[in-house]
Amino acid sequence: MSVTKAQLIGNVPLGSASAPTFTFADDPNTGIYSPGADQLALVTGGTARITIDSSGNVTIANRINVPLGSAAAPSIYFAGDTNTGIYSPGDNQLVISTNGTGRLFFDASGRVGIGADSPSTSLEIASNANSQTEATIPTVRLTNTDTTAVSTDITGSYEFYSLDTSEANVVTGYVRNVAEDAGTKYALVFGSKNAGLGASERLRITSDGKLGLGTSNPATSLHIASSTPQFRLQDTDATNQFSQITQGSGTTYIYNQNGTSYGEIRFQQNNGTTLLTPLVIDSSQRVGIGTTSPGSILHVSNGNDSASGEFIGLTIGGTNVGNARTGSIIKDTTTYDLIYKNQNFSTALGSHVFRNGPSEHARIDSSGRLLVGTSSAYGTAYTTPIQVKASGSLSGGYSIVSANNENAGGFCLNSSSDNSIRIDSDPDNLRASSYIGFNVDATERMRITNDGTHYTRGTTSVFSFASNAAAGTTNWLQLGGHSASSITGYTISYAVYTNGNIVNTNGSYTAISDSKLKENIVDASSQWDDIKAIRIRNWNFKEETGHETHRQIGPIAQELEQVSPGLVFETPDRDEDGNETGEVTKGVNQSILYMKAVKALQEAMERIEVLEQRLTDAGIA
């Protein structure tokens, strides 16, 4: 359509897309026209390409081709702010920049980066947190704008959603922040989905740091709740090596497995410098108190054969100090005496009483007298230290007395002129305190004093038990029991077998660990490097040693000596007569090793907690 000069000055027709009001020479369908009142359109090829409406809105019928731009000079920017807008750093990429810096990145795979120009995941957030301020630390914040939060309100939630055809369109897990009160205390809740069920709470960290598994109201730092709650520690370096604590029907089970063998359970302590293992149950079900290498079902040791005094013992007593009665079996490591003590802390000494069922048959009374068949001593001015009284079908008793028929007397088996074997009780009443002594080759080997104390002394070792039977659990070295009806008719509660196993009916063992008995109590130093360096081996005894040859686990003394020489000790080898051969056998103080392991575990837990806290602070955990 042609327009005259006069028409340009005045009104012109509106025109159309195919016949615009203003055109170019030889191109009648390209130009400008008005689609209606207060509207203007640009046309090419008879089609409106750009339209401006009465409000100034611009409509583009096709795409706009703009330069790629840069963060400092974006292709599309805003009036008065030339370094804030949208640009493309390359093919199939889009970036939103502010203040000349790219902030939000979209790559060719649809991944989104906030501060990350090459995101490696669906969403990646990057920031330089060197100054450690709230503005610089990479953070995802979920803000609840409700200003009237109440208990159980959910502040924010991360949800995981599945479209899997097995159970489609369901929430499969979540992490939620939940109010515990009216907006001052908040818990972190983790949920997961089981088959056929929706996602539900599995784990909760309360506002005061308690961790609940299976419970939303943990009562302790770690609270596990289920029909049969279990806690397992798994060693990933081997197959089926784990420890487990289970509770069911009011019973607590402590479980340990070492592959296809029985595991070992150790109880350890640490005073800040020394790791101790006061109690161990080894893979052969032997219990060691003060030793990590029990040689019998119950083995009590002070862990130091060179120490002196009454260190090794078992005490049974009350807790009322003012009127406590205690009984003890003690090994004196200086004299090698095995001491049996019974003491009343109030005014009187106790007695050792031996019963067969409900009836008393023998006792060592508070004056140290051995009484059989009677609970009280007989005599006038002095009573004999050993008295046997007949009862029932027994024809008579037995007593060793002095010439004046009082307490002093003795029994001797002589060889030549020496008293090869002698048992006496203060002959001629020359001593201020009476006692019963047992002598061999003119040397006293055992003594029972008038207060009931029992002493035994050997040149080297003290007690020895042996059987011609092979090692195993068929033949025993010792038996103990109760509720006896005859000399052989009783209920066995304690047995020592030829392979060294000790069996009792209740598995009860105790250790003294009261702080009032200790001093110099400080935290142990780091055991991390020592534990990492220790090699734990599987092995078995050589057949020629006579020990059982099943597979066991533990350190090798020579290897352990290179890491912690203080854990290794030596004992002299002896021949059948008890004479030293000149060679030694190395042993390991495994009680200390276990305490070192507990210290190393605590250090590992501290490192884990630090990492967990960092994850929590970063909003990732």
pLDDT tens digit sequence for 200-232: 999 999 999 999 999 999 999 999 999 999 988
**553-611 residue pLDDT tens:** 889 989 999 999 988 888 888 787 768 889 988 888 877 888 888 888 988 899 999 89
Q: What is the pLDDT of residue 323?
A: 46
Look at residue 406 in the predicted model and tell me its pLDDT. 47
Helices vs. strands in the chain: H and E counts, helices first: 4, 44
* Least confident span in 116-130, 148-162, 177-191, 363-377: 363-377
Cα gap 560→558, rounded to integer Å:
6
Architecture (CATH level 2) of domain 260-297+513-602: Orthogonal Bundle (1.10)
Between 487-501, 532-546, 578-592, the lowest mean confidence (pLDDT) is in 487-501
Q: Is pLDDT larger for residue 338 or for residue 108?
A: 108
Please list, in sequence order, all residues whose beta carbon lies within 8 angstroms of the beta carbon of residue 264, skipping any fewer than 6 positions away: 256, 258, 280, 281, 282, 283, 553, 554
- Contact present, 312 and 336 (Cβ < 8 Å): no
Question: Taking 60 as the threshold, does the pLDDT of residue 51 lie above it?
Answer: yes
Q: Considering the entire predicted model, what is its pTM?
A: 0.47
What sections of 517-618 are H helices per DSSP? 528-533, 557-563, 590-617
Does 399 score more than 80 pLDDT?
no
Domain ranges for the chain, please list them. Answer: 5-60, 154-224, 260-297+513-602, 312-456
Q: Which of 42-46, 111-115, 350-354, 598-602 has the lowest mean pLDDT?
A: 350-354
**Structure confidence by residue, pLDDT tens digits, 361-373:** 888 877 778 888 7
Nearest to 187 by CA among 156, 159, 223: 156
CB 33 within 8 A of CB 15: yes
**Cβ partners under 8 Å of residue 375, min gap 6:** 353, 360, 363, 365
Is residue 37 classed exposed, middle or buried when 0-12, 13-18 and 19+ CB atoms within 10 A define those classes?
exposed
* pLDDT for the residue 174: 93
